[in-house]
Structure 1
Amino acid sequence: MSKSALPLLFSALSVVLILSGCSKSPGTTVQEPATGEPAKPAIQTEPVTVTIGANPFFLTDEELKKYVADPVKKKYPHITVVRSNDMPKGTQTVEEMVVNKNIPDILVDAPYALMKIIGLGVTQNMDDLIRKHQFDKNRLLPELIDSLKTATGLDYMVSLPFYNNAFGLFYNADLFDKFAVSYPTDKMTWEEIQKKAVQLTREEGDKKYIGLWAGDAMWGGYQLGLPYLDKEKKKAMLDTEDWRSVLALWKSLYDTQGALMPPAGTNYEQLFFDGQVAIAFGHMGTLQKLRETNPFNWNVFTYPSNNKAPGFGQRADTYNMLITQQSKNKDASFQVISVVLSDEVQLEWSRNGKMSVLKDTSIHNEFGKAITAFQNKNVAALTKAKLQVIQPFVYDYPTLPVIRINTAFNEVLHQGKDINTALREANELMEQDTKAFLK
């Protein structure tokens, strides 16, 4: 173009006993189970270094230290976490690491890259480690877990999410004041936003003001959880009534711009930061940019609801940690992930403007509260809408399905093509790709 403190394995450290008469390897403590409880795994205490391969776009050096390395060292003094030497600046791809045979213990990536990573043979079934360490997945938002399984097509976990990119609509309060329009609020519908957009779109002197930028049409599909492909039948699914309704809605939103509509390819985000767009689609990156630049009096509200999916905002968009099958420190690596997913660390993520992946609403309510620039801002709205389970959207095609949809919409909006024709043609092109490239 973004949400019981620790796993049960570690919650009873106070009752750890060294079993008399039992042999154990050096550097290992064994936990004696209480009557009727399953035995807990041995905990290695020998010094170990866990390497993380993470592009700084997903995990900066500051974040790695604050939310990973330092809390892990506090909980497990024998574990040291470092960024992989092959990814100090985010220039080394996963493919290059595999070729160089220097694969880290933990990889950080987004759902769209999981299929490629799986194809490189570096992932593993993490369910075994989840069970071994008695990690409670039920603490996590279920749609995030479901999204990772859907994205991979697997019935087991190859990674765990550690924060989620959140979405909402941002607005320029100065323009609302200038034109005497009431501010938008949480839980509004697209139709309600559309009415405000009409009130805000106008021309004054040599200045043009656009009421609303809703983002690309693909976001309308994500909100409804629409698939691009029936993989079992190997059939494209762009020419459907649901997609027609999305393009019709999106056209109505852009039609509010009337004669002031900029040409195709316009950078609406820049227009928003330049003070020419009143309401703009945005996400965590938008929030960070507003924090850094503070170009005007701004605020944010929940992603508007589509009547076909009441209460839903955008799709899940997680950043995830996976333990590589080549790792020689799998248990220590899982302990690292378990600390990152603890209530304490997730609360710190939330307070500093990253959406927690946990269910706990008290953590989400703290979103952004540690950041001075977010005081008196409705930033917690980014965490309030329900998340759609992600549908697979990356295929080894020369043209991605999202590009097909966005192109079809642009043809409707800027070339006057009717929606039925645009979707039919997009579907036919995707069918050709499916037959040629889908194995």
Structure 2
Amino acid sequence: MNRKVWLIGTCMAISVLQGCSTDKGDGNTPGETAAEKPKEPFTMTIYAAGVKAEEFDDRFRGALQKKFPHITFEYKTNGKGQEIADLVTAGTIPDIIRTDVPNLRNNYIDLDLAEDLNPYVKKHQYDLNRFNKVFIDEIVDAGRTGALYGLPVPPYFPHVLYYNKDLFNRFGVPYPKDGMSFDEIYELAKKMSRADGNNIYRGFSAASNSILRDNLFSQPILDPLTDQLANPDRWKAIFSNYKRFYDIPNNPIESTTANETNAFAKGNVAMQVNLHSVYLIIPQEIDWDIVSHPTMEGAPKLTAQRGPAYWSIAKTSKHKDEAFEVITAMLTDEIQMEDSKKGIPATVVNKEIKDALGKGHPLYSTKNMRAISYYDPIPYTPKRKANLPDVPGSKQQALLFQAFLDFAQNKADANTALRKLDEQLKAEVEKEKVK
């Protein structure tokens, strides 16, 4: 009896410290905490179209491997046979997909990949208020169901006016300044568009697709409520604002949006409205700087912008909770601060992060980066009513640019170009109705 009492007492004393158990720490007994149980290793696939593996590794891989040592991260980007639709057909669907608003439907929702992140936000008590509200609201509206189909990943792309300092110096014309209007830029463009010997110098250019899509009125292409072109009179004013620049002698528009967007890099264009983007390549020999996006008569004094991409979860993933944790790990203040220093605009509202834009970059640290935040950003364009058939944004944009190009090249007047655009949009809507 005394020995039995002694054993019970000893066991109780030991249990205070470590639990009276003879298990080998397999994590299945009540005395062992969940933290002591080793996490099962697995592979998670992340897919981002248009983002090279080197960029992903530089921005994210180190932090992810440190935080999730039990996960092997496989990264994929697009290419021949590697578009997201190809992966769906092959049954090799990634866990995390980088989506965007123009292609949200055709490259995510229509492929039956959409996963609402709202339950994960609630479960993990994740604070959405740390992001620019515009970015959250737009992805919800674009999804048209009230679901949150992604979290915004830098960069977003604010518009600015680039200018070639060498050309302004050559012709003795003062540089453009922050806060100028398109009317003022037009006067500068007339002075800078000229023939000099055998060389033609253009005064103005623009990334034509983005200036129309991200216009200062937040004007949609397809009407949100009816099956037609939204507000043709407004589009006529937008078209006319830009066409006058291409009517200046020695300043014709290029024949494709790619050529027009890349015109500034040739060195013979004095000014160009374009996105601030770390992906925009300007040759080192061009001495350039930026000022704020010009304002337009009748439009709010705001900065045009292209919204960000989003990290989304595929509904087919077997690791959805972990995927959400990985996504939030790629969007921390620490990573966004490093992005900002490199010149990548952050998607969070943290002022310290925004103020650091470009300060750690050898080139951007010498530029007028204040121009990017000189005005507040424009609201996103209204989305289609949920019960109406929609046309993919990328298709709408292609039709819009072609209409503008016909007008800018004097192949059609504004009314004719816009009437044709209206007919094309209606035809695309009819196609959607029978899908």
Establish whether TM, by shorter chain, passes 0.5: yes
Counterpart residue number, 1:330: 320
Please name the residue that 1:8 is paired with.
none
Distance 1:143 1:165 in 2: 11
The answer as to 2:430 corresponding to 1:435 is yes
Q: CA deviation at 1:165?
A: 3.4
Contact kept in structure 1, 2:218 and 2:378, CA below 8 Å: no
For residue 322 of structure 1, give the secondary structure of its aligned residue in structure 2.
Answer: strand
d(CA) in 1 for partners of 2:208, 2:113: 34
Q: 2:96 aligns with which of 106, 110, 126?
A: 106
- Aligned-partner residue type, residue 182 of structure 1: P
Note the 1:22-421 alignment, pairs <5 A: 28-29=34-35, 45-55=39-49, 57-58=50-51, 60-84=52-76, 87=77, 91-116=81-106, 117-166=108-157, 167-216=159-208, 219-220=211-212, 222-223=214-215, 224-230=217-223, 232-233=225-226, 235-238=227-230, 240-255=232-247, 257-261=248-252, 264-265=255-256, 267-285=259-277, 288-290=280-282, 293-382=283-372, 384-385=374-375, 386-391=377-382, 396=391, 400-415=395-410, 417-421=412-416
CA contact (8 A) 1:190 1:304 kept: yes
CA distance in 1, matches of 2:339, 2:210: 28
Q: After superposition, what is the alpha-carbon deviation per residue over 1:21-45, rounded to whole angstroms, capped at 9, x for unaligned?
A: 9977988349xxxxxxxxxxxx995
1:164 alignment partner AA: P
Structure 1 residues 102 and 406, CA, compared in 2 at 3 Å: closer, same or farther? closer
Q: Secondary structure at the match of 2:219?
A: coil
Could you list the per-position Cα deviations for residues 298-317 of structure 1 after superposition, in whole angstroms to 9, with x for gaps in the alignment? 11222222243323222433
| Closer/same/farther in 2, CA of residues 107 and 24 from structure 1, 3 Å limit | farther
Amino acid in structure 1 at the alignment position of 2:345: M
Q: How far, CA to CA, are the matches of 1:100 and 1:217 in structure 2?
A: 33
Aligned partner letter, 1:128: P
Q: Deviations over 1:72-94 (max 9, x none)?
A: 2333444443315xx58675111
What is residue 34 of structure 1 aligned with on the other side? none
How far residue 128 of structure 1 moved from its aligned partner, in angstroms, is: 0.4
The alpha-carbon deviation at position 272 of structure 1 amounts to 2.0
Q: CA deviation at 1:185?
A: 2.3
Please give the secondary structure, in 1, of the residue aligned with 2:321.
helix
Query: Distance between the aligned counterparts of 1:260 and 1:285, measured in 2?
Result: 25
Partner of 2:5: none
Which letter maps to 2:380? V
- Structure 2 residue identity aligned to 1:28: A
1:122 CA drift (Å): 1.4
Q: Between the two proteins, what is the percent identity of the paired residues?
A: 25
| CA deviation after TM superposition for structure 1 residue 252, in Å | 2.2
1:105-140 deviations in Å (ceiling 9; x for gaps):
111132222102111111211100011111111110
| Whole-angstrom distance in 2 between the partners of 1:407 and 1:249 | 16
SS at match of 1:236: coil
Please tell me whether the aligned partners of residues 164 and 287 of structure 2 are also in contact (alpha carbons under 8 angstroms).
yes
8 Å contact from structure 2 (residues 224, 230) kept in 1 = no
Offset, 1:326: 1.5
Change (3 A) 1:138 1:308: farther
Displacement of 1:146 in angstroms is 1.7
Residue 217 to residue 308, structure 1, CA distance change in 2 (3 Å): farther
Shift of 1:330: 1.5
Residue type of the partner of 2:58? K
SS in 2 for 1:244: helix
Q: 1:384 to 1:98 in 2, by over 3 A?
A: farther
Residues of 1 paired with 2:367 and 2:79: CA distance?
33
Task: Give the Cα separation in 1 of the matches to 2:201 and 2:289.
Answer: 18
In structure 2, the CA distance between the partners of 1:328 and 1:265, relative to structure 1 (3 Å rule), is: closer
Q: 1:285: Cα distance to partner?
A: 4.9
Determine the structure 2 residue equivalent to 1:15: none
Q: Is the 8 A contact 2:205 2:253 kept in 1?
A: no
Cα RMSD, aligned residues only: 3.2
What is the CA distance between 1:152 and its match in structure 2? 2.2
Q: Report the CA distance shift for 1:93/1:269 in structure 2 as closer, same or farther (over 3 A).
A: closer
Q: Secondary structure at the match of 1:402?
A: helix
Change (3 A) 1:278 1:438: farther
Match for 1:115: what amino acid? R
Q: Which runs of 5+ in 1 are unaligned?
A: 1-19, 31-42
Q: Kindly tell me: are residues 336 and 193 of structure 1, through their superposed partners in 2, closer, same or farther at Cα, counting changes over 3 Å? A: same
Deviation at 1:206, TM superposition (A): 1.2
Contact 2:160 2:274 in 1 (8 A): yes
Pair 159,299 (structure 1): closer, same or farther in 2 beyond 3 Å: same
Is the 2:99–2:150 Cα contact (8 Å) retained in structure 1? no
Cα 1:187–1:80 shift into 2, 3 Å: farther
Aligned partner of residue 372 in structure 2, secondary structure: helix
Contact 1:364–1:380 under 8 Å retained in 2: no
Q: Which runs of 5+ in 2 are unaligned?
A: 1-18, 21-27
Distance 1:246 1:200, change over 3 A: same
Aligned residues of 1:228 and 1:392 also touching (Cα < 8 A): no
Q: Deviations over 1:374-405 (max 9, x none)?
A: 23112453355414314559965899332332
Q: CA deviation at 1:49?
A: 3.4
Measure the CA separation in 1 of the matches of 2:380 and 2:393. 25
Please name the residue that 1:426 is paired with.
Answer: 421
Aligned residue for 2:345, secondary structure, equals: coil
CA distance in 2, matches of 1:399, 1:122: 19
**Secondary structure of the residue that 2:154 maps to in structure 1?**
strand
Moved more, 91-100 or 169-178: 91-100
Q: TM-score, normalised by structure 2?
A: 0.82
One-letter code aligned to 1:242: R
Query: For each residue in 1:331-380, what CA deviation from the matched residue of structure 2 results, as whole angstroms up to 9, or x when unmatched?
Result: 22111111111110011111112211111222122112222122311245
